[in-house]
């Protein structure tokens, strides 16, 4: 059996695992804490009006229904995981259409990020 050192505690462990059994829960807890800090920074600059809307029951029902009807991304055809507003709700017109079925579409996560130009390099 191939063995390697755990990157955290340097104990020998079987090859194929990222961390030993003792360090894996510690590393996962550290990752969760980092995610929580990151989301706290992100939400600090987010408008509460939109945050409350996306947590509202009417939006959750509409988005669940849209994903159950349109199971594939309208751009690439992969399984849809998110619901997008065609007219963004940050505009006056978009806010009025926020719960309109015809103003939503199903997208995969990757296409949704592309549409909103999230996490793209600033080069070129």
Listed in sequence order, the DSSP H helices in the chain are: 24-44, 48-54, 57-69, 92-96, 109-115
pTM above 0.75, yes or no: no
Q: Give the angle 108-114-116 at the CA atoms, nearest 5°.
A: 105
Q: Kindly state whether residues 54 and 96 are assigned to the same domain.
A: yes
Q: Kindly state whether residues 29 and 70 are assigned to the same domain.
A: no
Q: Kindly state whether residues 79 and 100 are assigned to the same domain.
A: yes
Residue 69: give the domain boundaries: 48-115
Q: Domain count of the chain?
A: 2
Residue 95, domain member (yes or no): yes
pLDDT (tens digit per residue) in 35-91: 888 877 766 777 889 889 999 999 999 999 999 999 999 999 999 999 999 999 989
Q: Kindly state whether residues 65 and 31 are assigned to the same domain.
A: no
Q: Kindly state whether residues 62 and 76 are assigned to the same domain.
A: yes
């Amino acid at each position: 059996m191939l063995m390697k050192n755990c990157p955290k505690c340097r104990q020998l462990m079987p090859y194929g695992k990222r961390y030993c059994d003792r360090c894996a829960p510690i590393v996962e807890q550290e990752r969760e804490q980092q995610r929580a800090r990151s989301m706290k920074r992100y939400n600090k600059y987010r408008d509460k009006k939109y945050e409350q809307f996306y947590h509202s029951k009417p939006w959750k029902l509409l988005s669940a229904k849209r994903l159950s009807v349109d199971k594939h991304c309208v751009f690439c055809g992969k399984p849809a995981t998110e619901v997008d507003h065609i007219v963004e709700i940050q505009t006056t017109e978009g806010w009025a259409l926020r719960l309109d079925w015809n103003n939503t579409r199903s997208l995969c996560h990757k296409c949704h990020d592309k549409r909103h130009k999230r996490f793209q390099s600033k080069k070129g």
